[in-house]
Amino acid sequence: MAHDVQPQQPLWWQQGVIYQVYPRSFKDTNADGIGDLTGIIAKLDYLTWLGVDAIWLSPIYPSPMIDFGYDITDYTDIDPLFGDLATFDTLVAQAHQRGLKIIMDYVPNHTSDQHPWFIQSRSSRANPRRDWYVWADPKPGGSPPNNWLASWGGSAWEWDITTGQYYLHSYHKAMPDLNWRNPAVKEAMFDVVRFWLDRGVDGLRIDSAQRIMKDPQLRDNPPNPDLRGTTYKSFTDYDTQLHLNDKGHPDIHEVYRELRQLLDAYSILSPRVALGEMHIYDWKVWARYYGLQLDEIHMPLNFGLVSIPWKARTVQQLVDAVEAALLPGAWPNYVLSNHDEPRIATRVGPEQARVAMLLLLTLRGTPTLYYGDEIGMHDVEIPPEYIQDPSEKSQPGKGLGRDPERTPMQWDGTPNAGFCPPTVKPWLPIADDYKQTNVAIEREDRHSMLTLARALLQLRRTTPALSVGSYTPIEGVPDDCFVYMRQFGKQRHLIALNFSSNEQQVHLPKPGGRVLLSTHLDREESIELNTLRLRGDEGCIIEVGDTRT
Ligand code: GLC
Ligand code: CA
């Protein structure tokens, strides 16, 4: 079946490609080993050259950095490590001059325990900010109010000795959950949104978007009887429960409808977008966050590609299930890697990472590209003395650490890969292959991952079929292949991907076509589609129609 609800007038976030910058790791300009806003400004020309459309910045707000910026003490300022508001304004202005949009990370579920709101809240039960967070009495006997668990291990409740109650933290105990049932909290957090939209920000990536509304009665979660991972990766203890009551309470949709109205009010001159971090793998439940009238989150982020085995049939089933779950007009999106997941090159290997890049940039829906994936960066093993991530520190050795995918961007072959001066110790180690895997070298190499990523981005930009065209899977192809058609008007492009390292032959009852791009970057030629040969680990974009002259 063809999925062909093409937007009438595609908006920038439907047609464009989002690039995620993890600011600590992008470019350091003041020699402290930590990336900063001036560094991002310095690399805007690189991003324009690469051909992306929007930059999503992981958090840059003032923070004690327990969770590297996801623990915030002031939502309307910039941490001095990264710069200041004036530098941020320059970043927005410089990005906009180049036609690049800026998407801010927005962290509504929790603050830092050092946030003035929480300091007041915990100061006494009578404090006017007491009800800004989720406080509850112990059970008789003193144990926590219910059985909820923190994502990073242990109870989600922390005892506060001064006021004799527990507070809720879905993650680290230094990150207390805000009480979104308090209208004052909602208003304050909506004011935060207004603050950044007024500064010219083009969108928000809503962190832990599903968590803000919990069961108002704080009922226990039921057990997860067969200990099946409640998401795709094991969070150990956290997986012993079904997380029915500690997130995603139905009245969450009302909050997102209101947030959408706020964004819409700002969108008249320049459309703003909300992306929501949603670890939901039941696509019907996930799609609900678009809103029944498409009046909630523009794009609940889709982590399907991160969560499944790398097999052609499984990937096709995922794409088909996502397409089938979407209400008409809902715009899909795909994430291949991010700051919480192993990098694609590590998950599938360097050869298949090229196929994955071609997939990401030719599926129907907005792609999110993680910094460094365009040069084929892989996860870096972190020596014990370098470990930073609280999720690793809370449950050491269980493979939950996220430092390996957050290492500094590799710009060139000089010591520290051009991320920071050679004499400075970067906050995380540099990958040992930086002398070959870096922007400077790969720019000059006709067959590099960077050349491939850029060629794909250019082709996508100039080919409506690839960005906003319909998607139709082609059946009857070998098990290791995923083949689909993207079509816009008369423009038809066939995407053929070989997920194996063996040659595959695909037989298609179609006329001839022309290979516009192969992941091997070594062929552009007219072909017969009745026997299309794909070499091992090869993916192709083929313009369909007899193009021979
Ligand atoms: C989200 C972020 C992750 C962070 C967590 C708590 O999952 O992506 O990096 O640790 O929320 O804010
Ligand atoms: Ca710095």
Q: What is the pLDDT of residues 447-491, one digit of tens each?
A: 999 999 999 999 999 999 999 999 999 999 999 999 999 999 999
Rounded CA-CA distance 79/475 in Å is 52
Rounded CA-CA distance 310/305 in Å is 8
Does the annotation count 412 as an active-site position? no
**pLDDT for 546 beyond 70:** no
**pLDDT for 291 beyond 90:** yes
Can you give the pLDDT at residue 112? Answer: 98
Cα(112) to centroid(ligand 1), Å: 13
Nearest C-alpha to atom 9 of ligand 1 is from which residue? 340
Predicted TM-score of the model (pTM) = 0.97
Cα(342) to centroid(ligand 1), Å: 14
Block residue for tokens 């977008």 = 273
Does the annotation count 207 as an active-site position? yes
Q: How confident is the model at residue 394 (pLDDT cuts 50, 70, 90)?
A: confident
Name the least confident of 29-33, 140-144, 238-242: 238-242
Q: How confident is the model at residue 545 (pLDDT cuts 50, 70, 90)?
A: confident
Phi/psi at 385 (5° precision): -70, -10
Can you give the pLDDT at residue 386? Answer: 93
Phi/psi at 472 (5° precision): -135, 115
**pLDDT for 548 beyond 50:** no
Tell me if 279 CB under 6 Å of ligand 1.
Answer: no
Sign of the four-CA dihedral 80, 85, 89, 95: positive
H-run or E-run covering 89: helix 85-97
Nearest C-alpha to atom 3 of ligand 1 is from which residue? 340
Q: Is 446 exposed, middle or buried (0-12, 13-18, 19+ CB in 10 A)?
A: exposed
Cα(36) to centroid(ligand 2), Å: 5
Tell me if 340 CB under 6 Å of ligand 1.
Answer: yes
Indicate the Cα dihedral angle 425, 428, 429, 435, nearest 10°: -90
